[in-house]
């Protein structure tokens, strides 16, 4: 059986939960994980509250191969992700010398004051490694199996590009789509039996409506071509029966 590598994502920020900011990072991470053979199994959105972040992170990091967080590593008082991650791992959150110098030099080159607020972006849990930020210098960090990144989409994407080469990847999921001319209510029972007969596959059913008719797109997913083809053959045979009956 091919290796299965899993991941979870934790989106941090009151602005996401209130609707003031629309998340654009979940879909991007899902696309990248699928492309490299990592199963994104769970996404949690949590407020800017230390206890909530700690509890969610500790639950996720013990369950999945990797955890990716976005948001809460900026310069303001409500950017508490670094402190919360440090608490979850039971280590101090402190200024990282390399990050401090890097940020200080960057602001000096631009003639901008390196304020106490900006210095906060150099804080991270003791023992964490940098995740480079080619967009705005302030690094993310990784500790254990947790990767902590910015919430700004362009920065998150740039950081993720630097993270991907360091990840263990698994077998990519193969997929095949089967058009079904009838609705889900008609095929639900037989489709469940096919799924039961092919436990090493995932069969998705997606209802569609167009030109006054309901129909269904069926998608078979598997990690081996043999499993994919066996399940697809059964799905296609079922569809043919209903199409002929109709």
pLDDT at 210 over 80: no
Q: What pLDDT shows up at residue 244?
A: 82
Please state the φ and ψ torsions of residue 214, each to the nearest 5 degrees.
-90, 140
C-alpha to C-alpha distance for 73 and 70, rounded to whole angstroms: 8
Question: Would you place residue 246 in the very low, low, confident or very high pLDDT band (cuts 50, 70, 90)?
Answer: low
* pLDDT tier for residue 2 given thresholds of 50, 70 and 90: low
How many CA atoms within 13 Å lie on the side-chain side of 3?
9
Query: How many CB atoms lie under 10 A from the CB of residue 137?
Result: 16
Q: What is the pLDDT of residues 109-127, one digit of tens each?
A: 999 999 999 999 999 999 9
Q: What is the pTM of this model?
A: 0.83
Task: State yes or no: pLDDT of 162 exceeds 80.
Answer: yes
Mean predicted lDDT score pLDDT of the chain: 93
Per-residue DSSP letter, 46: E
Confidence (pLDDT) at 91: 98
Structure tokens at 114: 């390196």
Domains, the chain, ordered by start = 5-166 (3.40.980.10), 174-245 (3.30.70.600)
């Amino acid at each position: 059986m091919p290796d299965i590598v899993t991941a979870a994502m934790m989106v941090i920020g009151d602005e996401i939960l209130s609707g003031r900011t629309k998340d654009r990072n979940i879909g991007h991470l899902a696309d990248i994980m699928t492309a490299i053979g990592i199963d994104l199994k769970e996404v949690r959105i949590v407020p800017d509250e230390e206890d909530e972040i700690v509890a969610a992170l500790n639950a996720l990091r013990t369950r999945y191969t990797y955890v990716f967080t976005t948001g809460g590593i900026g310069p303001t008082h409500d950017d508490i992700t670094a402190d919360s991650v440090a608490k979850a791992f039971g280590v101090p959150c402190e200024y990282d010398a390399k990050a401090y110098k890097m940020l200080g030099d960057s602001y000096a080159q631009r003639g901008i004051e390196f304020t106490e607020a900006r210095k906060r972006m150099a804080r991270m849990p003791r023992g964490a490694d940098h995740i480079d930020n080619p967009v705005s210098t302030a690094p993310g960090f990784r500790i254990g199996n947790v990767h902590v990144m910015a919430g700004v989409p362009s920065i998150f994407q740039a950081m993720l590009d630097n993270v991907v080469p360091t990840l263990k990847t698994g077998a990519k999921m193969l997929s095949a789509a089967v058009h079904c001319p009838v609705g889900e209510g008609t095929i639900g029972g037989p489709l469940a039996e096919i799924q039961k007969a092919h436990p090493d596959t995932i069969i998705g059913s997606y209802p569609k409506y167009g030109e006054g008719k309901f129909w269904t797109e069926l998608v078979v997913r598997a990690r081996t071509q043999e499993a994919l083809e066996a399940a697809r053959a059964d799905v296609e045979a079922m569809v043919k029966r209903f199409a002929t009956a109709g």
